[in-house]
Amino acid sequence: MGYVNKVVDNVGTHLVEPTLYAVAGGTSAAYTATISNFELVEGVTISLKIPTTNAVSATLSVNGTAAKAIYYDNAAIAAKALKANHIYNLTYDGTNWELVGDLDTNTDRLVEQGVTSTGSWRKLLLNGGNVYSAKGTTPTNRTDVTYQAANLDF
């Protein structure tokens, strides 16, 4: 990249590479970004705020460069892995954008589980933005029961 910022503090002078940040545009399949002082070279890392959850494997074009696939763990990123309004760090590996860090790919969220004195129980589960409920006579995990869409009134 060829440029650094100089930071002086009470310890001394430090040279640091600037953070390259953008809010992405485009679609949930083809993100775009504009970043000052950007050059697409192997090893460049950017921080990107994703405006919409990706519907399919996604690509990224920065400053009009050819769109490059976004990868996670050496494979094209799965649909719905990038969440709207989240900031991700991406490093260009010379071929693709590789997501840096870990993704939480578990979309199930157990919201509430209660067991009464008689042993009956109820669970609420969030899955991909949907809410489901189940009840039974013995506590089980989510794969042992059939969940139904829950009608919640807040």
Whole-number Å distance between alpha carbons of 124 and 97: 37
Parse the chain into domains and list their residue ranges.
5-100, 108-149
CB-based contacts of 93, cutoff 8 Å, min separation 6: 42, 43, 71
Task: State pLDDT tens for residues 41-72.
Answer: 999 999 999 999 998 999 999 999 999 999 99
Tell me the pLDDT band of 100, cut-offs 50, 70 and 90: very high
Do the Cβ atoms of 68 and 92 come closer than 8 Å?
Answer: yes
- Which pLDDT band, with edges at 50, 70 and 90, does 128 fall under? low
Q: What is the pTM of this model?
A: 0.61
Query: CA 137 to CA 104: how far, in whole Å?
Result: 31
